[in-house]
Amino acid sequence: MADATRTDDLFARARSAVMVGVECDAARIHELKADPTPFSDLVSGRKRAEVRRDDRGYQVGDKLFLCEFDREAQAYSGRQCCARVTHIQRDYGLPDGLVVLSVDVLSTLNVVPAAQEGERADG
């Protein structure tokens, strides 16, 4: 339970920080995990789209709050970004239930998770 609370706190702190200066309706922010390689490609500008399950009612103008998540370690890295959906592709040969979201990255942030903060203080 403590890990879940820490993760919720990390999301809240990071979301507040990364959203500074980004205007949007809070109901249209989608918090999503992102694997390290596609996350890095998105932040660097090499990648301009996200393929996702179409289970959230995505709309043009929505904001994606992406948090880098390492599946092997089962942990968030602390890197986040906020991106705005600029175009949505459904159908046209995509499997049912998938969507391609074209995005513009609005801001990025690197927040050190609480566990790593403790390691730095000790080491």
Quote the pLDDT of residue 1: 39
User: Model pTM greater than 0.75?
Assistant: no
Quote the pLDDT of residue 34: 95
Quote the pLDDT of residue 123: 47
Q: Which residue has the tokens 């074209």?
A: 102
Q: Which residue has the tokens 């309706």?
A: 25
Sign of CA dihedral 37, 43, 45, 51: positive
- What the block records as the tokens of 121 is 């203080």
Containing domain of residue 102, as a range? Answer: 2-122
Mean pLDDT by 10 residues, the chain (123 residues): 48 52 62 94 94 93 93 91 94 92 91 55 47
- 98: CATH: 2.30.130.30
Over 55-110, what HEC string results? CCCCCCCCEEEEEEEECCCCEEEEEEEEEEEEEEECCCCCCCCEEEEEEEEEEEEE
Return the number of other C-beta atoms located less than 10 Å from residue 69's C-beta. 17
**How many distinct structural domains can be found in the chain?**
1
